[in-house]
Amino acid sequence: MSQQVNPFIQADGTKPSCMQMLQIILDEQASADQKEYFKFHMAKCLPCFKSYNIDATIKELLKSKCCAGEAPHDLIEVIKQKINQQLSL
């Protein structure tokens, strides 16, 4: 497999963790390169795959439950933290 440059690596060479990459993706702050890279990464990384899908599911669920459309940000953060805790066990 050819070596792919990780577009998430910061200017100072810091390699981000899975959680940091996920956060960028889920906050919709990722560039096209980052999204592409993460798609491949997710295919090989079960925790990322799970978190990504859980988050998408939560957002869908909240959207369908809340008529206002936007889910309360605090609630999303609390749920994310719970998921993160479970994944790191």
Residues of span 2-31 touching Zn ion by CB under 5 A? 18
Closest approach, Cβ 88 to Zn ion, in A, equals 12
Q: Which is nearer to Zn ion, 30 or 48 (CB)?
A: 48
Identify the residue among 8, 25, 37, 48 touching Zn ion (CB under 5 A). 48
**Residue 45 touching Zn ion (CB under 5 A):** yes
3-state DSSP of the chain: CCCCCCCCCCCCCCCCCHHHHHHHHHCCCCCHHHHHHHHHHHHHCHHHHHHHHHHHHHHHHHHHHCCCCCCCHHHHHHHHHHHHHHHCC
Answer yes or no: are the C-beta atoms of 14 and 5 closer than 8 Å. no
Q: Which is nearer to Zn ion, 18 or 79 (CB)?
A: 18
Q: Which is nearer to Zn ion, 39 or 63 (CB)?
A: 39
Closest approach, Cβ 41 to Zn ion, in A, equals 6
Interacting residue ranges for Zn ion, rule: CB under 5 A: 18, 45, 48
